Structure 1
Amino acid sequence: MKATTDERLNKKLTGNFIELASTLSKLNESEQKQKIIEMNGMINEMNKNDLDSVMSVELFRDINELINDEKMTVENAALLFGHIGYCKSLFSLTKKNFDRTSLIDSFGGMIFYEYRVKEEKNEKLLADLCECYLSLLDGRFVCSYDIFPISIPCLLKVALNKEESKEAQKEVEMALLALSKIGKYYTIEQNLYLKEIKEIIKCHQEHHNLTRLAYQSVWEFLINRFYHEESLEEVIVNELHFGREAARELEELSKCVKWKKEKENWKEQKEVSVMKRWAETIHNLPSLFNLLQEGFDKLICCLVKLCRASRNDEPELSDATVTWFHSNSRSICDGIGIFLESDILVLFLENIQQSTLKTAIARVSLEFFLDISRRLRRNSIEDFNRKHWKKTKRMVFDQMEEQGCEDVITSFNDVERTDITNVNIMSESLKEYFVFL
């Protein structure tokens, strides 16, 4: 099979990047800096696969040797790896080569030296080193906890900069993106971040001073903390209004995105990356999800639109959203009127009728309808006005009947596929539920 024009261009691009990297040892500090700026420009032109290919163990080892041999300054190393880490985080790449090389120890050592040993701290360099370290990090529990009391206050100080210049906005964005890489597996003391994080979010809500990526990143950092700190629910939901904010951001981002890929080797738009990051953050919040909370009904509507729009170009995102709907079906059913607004029933029927339907998606889709049927058949409705519930139940059932839910679902009994046996059994159960609704 002949390589496409885009594939040949990308291969040339990555080849040129690797070639430039190999010449760095022969250059002085000023020349190195110019070459690194050129290399960073190449990174901007790379797609996810290109960047993944150049972030090799060899690159990390070679640069680490240059640093140890004093053939590259710390500033130049930070200039290169800060940009690589930024793009890695933006694409949500999970390559662990940084974690597997001694460069991780070198950066950690440089951070401690700059913070604790050096008499006059270079705060800009310290922030750059912290950004490199956190944005390149990928493994769980690889990071030393001693890094956090240094890196978190340092990067929050950068993020609190309220200057409106593009340069300042980019620095804030990079600092918050690096902080968002501190995963939910790490327990962080609230006194290290909570006051500043609340200030950053509230300031943006009032003045809209952050980029879209920066705003998503600050929320991701906070949501990751909720994994160990359930006491944050009041702050996240009622004080900072996560449901409302996430819904608004997804709605505005959707207006900027052109989903249709015009080229075979499509370079993902930044807005798409940010939307995917929002979706992933929302997917990590099943225990916080409640349609009765402010904005969460609108958030469901936005996710339905995102799921449908991304079905062809980003099927993994679409499938993950369907699975998330299924895992939260109980909460969705408790606010069952959302079906009448969000088009969620139509979305699931569309998914079931796809010619490329995956067994896993068929299963979660049918289980979703099964949960709806069970909830609609409840005999005792707590915390609901019984008359209102009966009316809502009738409206939902009419919509299900209008869309042909029963016919589509029970048609799975006629499908002869060895990998869909369990799905057939579920569809038989569903038929009974539809009969007695």
Structure 2
Amino acid sequence: MSLTNDDISEDDISEDDYSEDETLTTARTEQFSILFCELERCREDEQKQKIEELNGLIDEMNKEEFKSVFTIELFNKIHQMIEKNTLSLESAILLLKHVGRCKELKSFFCFSFDDSLLSKRMKEMMIDEYEKKKDEKNEKHLTDLCECYALLGEDDIHDELLSVIMPCLLKAASKKEESDEAQKEKENALLALSLVNEFEDKDFEQCLIEIKEIIKRHQEHRNLTWLAYQSTWQFLMERLYDDAELEGVLVNELHFVREAAREIEELSKCVDWKKRKEGEEKEEKKTKEEIILVRWIRTLETFSRLCKLRNEELAGIIGIIVRLFRAAKFFSEDLIYEIVECLSSATGNSAIEIDDLLKEGAIDAMLGEAVESNLRIPQIFYWKLPFIELCERLKGKMENEEDEAKRKVMKRKVLERMEEEGYEDSVFKFCNCMHRGMNKYYSLIDDPDDYFLYC
């Protein structure tokens, strides 16, 4: 079977389908604009009702709709409405916090906020509130401002604001109340905290103590939501880039891999993949469980890339990821992309044995997908990554004789598996297609030798 230009020039979307999508996009964004304009003419209680409707529309938006609505002009308009008292600050926070959650959970970008007048105003309000005397300070108001700012922004938070935002969010996340409202507040605080990547070492020491208490309390009492717990680990994982000692805490004290494995398995059981397949809508609305699964795999990818400590739990979680991949491979492109990234990092990490990748089915899964994807151009980009990592590890000779013997055994096993699956034939076909004038995709090839192992 060969690939022609005709095979890849169409997106399998009819003109009628495209027109329908255009109509839906226009309807949602226009409805948002109409409702937003009505806010200035409403009483505060009516504003809250309108904002609930606006938040419902935001939940339905795709990336293009979100980007077209939340522009610097809109954020400047919100600033102006607050300034003129035509929109109460409480109502604005209700809207902005939802926008920030949606942006983060759907992995949208919102660069327009950082340069807006609203961003500048919120900075000033946070600092003013923080500097008030204890008996004059409105803690909830300050927490709301910190959450909105952290959730909406894309730029790094400067030192002046870090000293305000970090302790505020940690205090909100550490509360021990167990009501539904308290759970929601802790979830928002931890989600916002997971986005704070810049902080001084001296500040992190106390922060780590509090975060460890939050994690251990959850491990004992299960008192956090799925999203809140995942956000707590994501916050720590971002710090792993700069703090190698933290890995020992994650592995030996907090048992990250064990916790991640359990959470991923529980979440996977809550997603009905067959129901997703039968859905008639082209753009299925992701369940909260699927969204959190994507976040867990992303967090695990960071750990798989940076961890240096060998531990037995790593092999087990590879098997869980492979099972998740097989269940979701036809239904969730975002999740599959994150799984490929995670497997690539695991494959390239010497702390994870190649034999474990074989035993847990990771190499079989990667081989099968690589072979199937060789004639589907975009997918080959995903699946070249794990094999380049695998080939790099198996090509290099080891100085230690025992290690070198193990390498040769693993290389032979992988080569045999590749031959059984027809891997090399499929890559040759792919490269041949690329060389027949398809320059648009030529950069995906790099050096074809990167895809192969030789005896």
Q: What TM-score results when the alignment is normalised by the length of structure 2?
A: 0.82
Residue 364 of structure 1: which of 372, 379, 385 is its match? 385
Contact 1:111 1:129 in 2 (8 A): yes
Tell me whether 238-247 or 310-319 shows the greater mean CA deviation: 310-319
Instruction: Tell me, in whole angstroms, the C-alpha distance in 2 between the residues paired with 1:16 and 1:421.
Output: 45
Which residue is 2:175 aligned to?
A: 161
Q: Aligned AA for 1:83?
A: H
1:318 matches 2:333: no
Instruction: Tell me, in whole angstroms, the C-alpha distance in 2 between the residues paired with 1:321 and 1:288.
Output: 16
How many residue pairs get aligned? The number is 425
Which residue is 2:286 aligned to?
A: 268
Which residue is 1:122 aligned to?
A: 138
1:417 matches 2:435: yes
Contact 1:351 1:357 in 2 (8 A): no
Instruction: Tell me, in whole angstroms, the C-alpha distance in 2 between the residues paired with 1:379 and 1:151.
Output: 50
Q: Aligned AA for 1:79?
A: L
Q: Aligned AA for 1:237?
A: V
Secondary structure of residue in 2 paired with 1:230 = coil
Instruction: Tell me, in whole angstroms, the C-alpha distance in 2 between the residues paired with 1:412 and 1:72.
Output: 58
Instruction: Tell me, in whole angstroms, the C-alpha distance in 2 between the residues paired with 1:105 and 1:129.
Output: 12
Which residue is 2:82 aligned to?
A: 67
Q: Aligned AA for 2:263?
A: E
Structure 1 segments unaligned to the other structure (5+ residues): none
CA RMSD in angstroms comes to: 3.1
Q: Aligned AA for 1:348?
A: M
1:277 matches 2:292: no
Tell me whether 297-306 or 170-179 shows the greater mean CA deviation: 297-306
Which residue is 1:44 aligned to?
A: 59
TM-aligned CA deviation for residue 278 of structure 1? 1.6
1:323 to 1:46, Cα distance in 2 relative to 1, 3 A: closer
Trace 1:15-414 onto structure 2 (pairs within 5 A).
15-117=30-132, 120-139=136-155, 141=156, 143-183=157-197, 185-187=198-200, 189-259=203-273, 260=276, 262=279, 263-286=281-304, 288-290=306-308, 292-315=310-333, 317-331=335-349, 335-353=353-371, 354=373, 355-358=375-378, 360-361=381-382, 363-371=384-392, 373-374=394-395, 378=398, 380=400, 399-400=417-418, 402-405=420-423, 408=426
Q: Aligned AA for 1:74?
A: L
Which residue is 2:8 aligned to?
A: none
Secondary structure of residue in 1 paired with 2:121 = helix
1:115 to 1:295, Cα distance in 2 relative to 1, 3 A: same
TM-aligned CA deviation for residue 269 of structure 1? 1.8
Secondary structure of residue in 2 paired with 1:85 = helix
Q: What TM-score results when the alignment is normalised by the length of structure 1?
A: 0.85
TM-aligned CA deviation for residue 52 of structure 1? 3.4
TM-aligned CA deviation for residue 292 of structure 1? 2.5
Instruction: Tell me, in whole angstroms, the C-alpha distance in 2 between the residues paired with 1:347 and 1:247.
Output: 19
